[in-house]
């Protein structure tokens, strides 16, 4: 019989056994559960966990930087603060949406009603104001408004403000390119949106991502332009000065390398600040150099004449009768501003004769003229890669009227752009080869790999190299004494160019306006080895309208400074004799006694002036320079070189000066200059005499060309050897559209 002690012992053993069994069962269950979670269902549970804390965050890349050709940043992206709010969290914190909106209005200057309406919505996210200033962001952070937070966003910033604004364009608040390069290369600059794996907390905010530590993972491609920041600033400055001086409505300047097609500057005025594009009108944001069409006027004449010489339709020694300044084609009359009679082809270009050029166009024929101009690129897009470019208008020759072959030859009845003119002139400067103009030099990705490297691309050989050299020599006559472009002359460099003065079409009353003009000048330098082409166009100048008066000085200042900036020495510029030729020019005939006497008189006068100058300098006095007929800037520069202070009155060209030139005066004397519009300045006596002779005595067909005493260029082969022509003193630009 078991004792109570035995019974207690048995009960304890049973309890221990039961507890052990329960413990073993529990341990088994734990082991099984651990096996189930860690082994059998491990992959499934891992996926479930990763779905909760590991997500792919769509990372919008920062736009790539835009540089000029020398690596100066023109457009960059910077991180700035943007203010947003959670309306539900705001109300959960017990805040009044209207009071918060009023506080935000004080700090950010936003509309209180609009913000209050947003904060009252049933949403988790609303924008308050994006891209705030650093001071505003700091104020919001210190205010600790409930439900209001700050996040970082990339903002497009243009450190040079208006510089190259029309080329760069701008991007909107979402970082999307709207105009210019920003739009044209949107896919490259913006880059693809990257999916970056990141660890999130329970509120969905990013805790960590190793890819976020690499800044390059969020960068778009970088773009290097052909634009030279210094030359761009120079072109914009001089264009703005010319617009204000001439009271023009608008204008554009293009600076281009004819050897590579690279564009160094595209300047337009009016302009705008791409950091604040909403403050500018659509008119101010327009890239006029590629979007605005205009009738080129006389700047088209080198291409007409070059095409005619290339087609053997005319020769450089051929003489044309300019019919005393007026001729009829069909039922219309074409005018010249001077009563020219017999002119050789180079003289026609030098004095910008509409009648002579029209006859050259008629000799070339409709099909020939159309073919010549289209080969130079007129009527076609240059494909420069900037949005909004227009091709201009050049109708097919089968649609021309009887008058068109004559008027299109001197730049009426067609339209072009500033960039087209510069590109076409580049063909003459580059031995007859038309190059593709480029504004993008290189594109690289965020790691430095080159995605695109631009190289010169020859579109076609427009004219033979020999004809291009001939045209260069003929265009030198435009800037020679007596040509229409003397204001474009740059000391130390040979300049080949052409002026243009085109009446604007009157779309209200029909025909052409009598008081609205497009003034232009195109040219390249140094002529014997061209380094740059510059095209200047001014729309509706008011003070004066001749291209040689208002546009040529802009060319001179831009080209002169650009050549110095690029290190083109005056010694390398050479002289007219340095121009390459196929064969030596024929010896000029012996000068007649009158010419020899004139040269002797000029030499004697120069010697007398030199002696007077030396005497004046020796005595501490000054010799008054001759600035008659010069523009204001040129006159001031010449006077300053002679140590004179200047006082101006009027506008236009210098019509009178006091003291008179050649006078020896005491140091400190002020040079008084009176300016007048070019049309009000009396012609020099010799010029008037020549004009009178041409007007009153029309030479017969057998008459010697020299008898008509027309102005000529400086070219030795410009006219037949038996009839040399004399240089003329000065002439205003030729005619309506000249």
What distance in Å separates the CA atoms of residue 147 and residue 126, rounded to the nearest whole number? 10
What distance in Å separates the CA atoms of residue 457 and residue 256, rounded to the nearest whole number? 14
What distance in Å separates the CA atoms of residue 135 and residue 98, rounded to the nearest whole number? 23
User: Exposed (0-12), middle (13-18) or buried (19+): which is 334, by Cβ within 10 Å?
Assistant: buried
Asked whether 218 and 62 are in contact (CB, 8 A), the reply is yes
Asked whether 179 and 387 are in contact (CB, 8 A), the reply is yes
Crossing angle of helices 229-246/552-565, nearest 10°? 160
How many beta carbons lie within 10 A of that of residue 422, not counting itself?
Answer: 28
SS (H, E, C) 500-552: EEEEEECCCCCCEEEEEEEEEEEEEECCCCCCEEEEEEEECCCCCCCHHHHCH
Locate the DSSP E strands across 311-364. 319-321, 326-329, 332-335, 342-344
Pairing of strands 496-505, 512-525: antiparallel
Backbone angles phi, psi at 285, to 5 degrees: -85, -5
Crossing angle of helices 366-375/301-310, nearest 10°? 110
Task: Give me the residues paired with residue 521 across strands.
Answer: 499, 536
* Dihedral sign computed on CA atoms, order 595, 596, 597, 599: positive
Residues for the chain: how many in total? 738
Using only the alpha carbons of the chain, give its radius of gyration. Answer: 38
Catalytic-residue membership of 252: no
Asked whether 277 and 501 are in contact (CB, 8 A), the reply is no
Residues sharing a CB contact under 8 Å with residue 19, sequence separation 6 or more, in sequence order: none
Whose structure tokens read 């001014």?
538
| Cα 158 from chain centroid (whole Å) | 17
**CA-based end-to-end distance of the chain:** 144
Asked whether 733 and 546 are in contact (CB, 8 A), the reply is yes
How many beta carbons lie within 10 A of that of residue 21, not counting itself?
Answer: 10
82, 246, 252, 298: the catalytic one is 298
Q: Count of alpha carbons within 13 Å of 48, Cβ hemisphere only?
A: 6
What distance in Å separates the CA atoms of residue 528 and residue 572, rounded to the nearest whole number? 9
Asked whether 29 and 401 are in contact (CB, 8 A), the reply is no
How many beta carbons lie within 10 A of that of residue 513, not counting itself?
Answer: 14
Longest Cα–Cα distance of the chain, Å, equals: 170
Asked whether 195 and 415 are in contact (CB, 8 A), the reply is no
> Quick one: which of 79, 63, 78 has its CA closest to 191?
63
Q: Which two tokens stand for residue 70?
A: 């020398």
| Cα 32 from chain centroid (whole Å) | 78
Residues sharing a CB contact under 8 Å with residue 89, sequence separation 6 or more, in sequence order: 124, 146, 147
Residues carrying an active site annotation: 298
């Amino acid at each position: 019989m078991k004792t109570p002690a035995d019974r207690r012992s048995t009960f304890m053993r049973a309890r221990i056994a039961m507890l052990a069994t329960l413990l073993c069962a529990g341990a088994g269950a734990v082991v099984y559960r651990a096996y189930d979670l860690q082994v059998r269902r491990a992959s499934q549970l891992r996926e479930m966990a990763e779905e909760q804390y590991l997500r792919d965050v769509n990372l919008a890349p920062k736009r790539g930087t835009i540089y000029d050709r020398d690596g100066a940043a023109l457009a960059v992206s910077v991180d700035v603060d943007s203010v947003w709010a959670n309306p539900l969290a705001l109300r959960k914190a017990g805040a009044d949406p209207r009071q918060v909106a009023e506080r935000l209005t004080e700090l950010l200057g936003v509309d209180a009603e609009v913000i209050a309406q947003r904060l009252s919505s049933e949403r988790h996210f609303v924008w308050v104001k994006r891209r705030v200033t650093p001071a505003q962001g700091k104020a919001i952070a210190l205010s600790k408004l409930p439900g209001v937070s700050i996040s970082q966003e990339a903002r497009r910033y243009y450190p040079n403000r208006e510089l190259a604004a029309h080329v760069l364009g701008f991007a909107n608040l979402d970082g999307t390119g709207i105009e210019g390069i920003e739009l044209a290369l949107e896919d490259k600059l913006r880059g693809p949106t990257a999916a970056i794996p990141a660890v999130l907390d329970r509120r969905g905010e990013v805790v960590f991502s190793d890819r976020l530590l690499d800044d390059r993972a969020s960068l778009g491609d970088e773009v290097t332009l052909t634009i030279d920041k210094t030359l761009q600033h120079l072109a914009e400055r001089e264009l703005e000065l010319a617009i204000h001086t001439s009271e023009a409505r608008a204008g554009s300047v293009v600076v281009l390398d004819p050897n590579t097609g690279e564009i160094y500057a595209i300047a337009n005025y009016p302009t705008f600040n791409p950091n604040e594009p909403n403050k500018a009108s659509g008119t101010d944001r327009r890239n006029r150099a590629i979007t605005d069409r205009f009738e080129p006027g006389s700047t088209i004449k080198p291409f007409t004449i070059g095409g005619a010489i290339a087609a053997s339709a005319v020769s450089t020694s051929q003489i044309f009768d300019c019919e005393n300044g007026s001729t009829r084609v069909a039922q219309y009359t074409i005018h010249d501003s001077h009563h020219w009679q017999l002119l050789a082809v180079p003289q026609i270009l030098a004095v910008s004769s509409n009648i002579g050029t029209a006859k050259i166009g008629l000799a070339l024929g409709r099909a020939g003229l159309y073919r010549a101009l289209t080969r130079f690129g007129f009527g076609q897009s240059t494909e420069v890669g900037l949005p909004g470019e227009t091709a201009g208008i050049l109708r097919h020759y089968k649609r021309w009227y009887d008058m068109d072959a004559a008027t299109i030859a001197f730049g009426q009845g067609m339209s072009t752009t500033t960039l087209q003119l510069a590109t076409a002139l580049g063909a003459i400067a580059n031995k007859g080869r038309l190059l593709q103009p480029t504004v993008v030099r290189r594109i690289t990705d965020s790691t430095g790999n080159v995605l695109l490297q631009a190289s010169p691309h020859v579109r076609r050989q427009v004219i033979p190299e020999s004809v291009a050299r001939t045209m260069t020599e003929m265009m030198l006559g435009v800037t020679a004494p007596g040509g229409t472009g003397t204001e474009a002359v740059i000391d130390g460099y040979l300049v080949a160019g052409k002026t243009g003065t085109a009446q604007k079409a009157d779309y209200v009353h029909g025909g052409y306006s009598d008081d609205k003009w497009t003034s232009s000048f195109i040219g390249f330098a140094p002529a014997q080895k061209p380094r740059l082409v510059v095209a200047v166009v001014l729309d509706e100048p008011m003070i004066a309208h001749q291209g040689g008066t208002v546009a040529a000085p802009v060319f001179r200042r831009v080209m002169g400074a650009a050549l110095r900036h690029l290190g083109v020495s005056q010694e390398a510029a050479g002289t007219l004799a340095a121009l390459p030729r196929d064969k030596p020019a024929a010896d000029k005939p012996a000068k007649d006694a009158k010419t020899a006497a004139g040269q002797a008189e000029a030499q004697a006068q120069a010697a007398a002036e030199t002696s007077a100058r030396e005497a004046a300098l020796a005595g501490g006095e000054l010799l008054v320079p001759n600035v008659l007929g010069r523009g204001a800037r040129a006159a001031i520069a010449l006077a300053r070189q002679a140590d004179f202070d200047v006082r101006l009155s009027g506008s236009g060209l210098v019509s009178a000066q006091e003291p008179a030139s050649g006078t020896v005066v005491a140091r400190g004397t002020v040079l008084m200059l009176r300016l007048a519009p070019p049309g009000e300045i009396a012609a020099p006596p010799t010029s008037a005499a020549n004009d009178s002779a041409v007007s009153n005595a029309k030479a017969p067909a057998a008459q010697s060309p020299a008898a008509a005493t027309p102005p000529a260029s400086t070219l030795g082969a410009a006219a037949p050897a038996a009839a040399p022509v004399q240089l003329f003193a000065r002439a205003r630009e030729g005619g309506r559209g000249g």
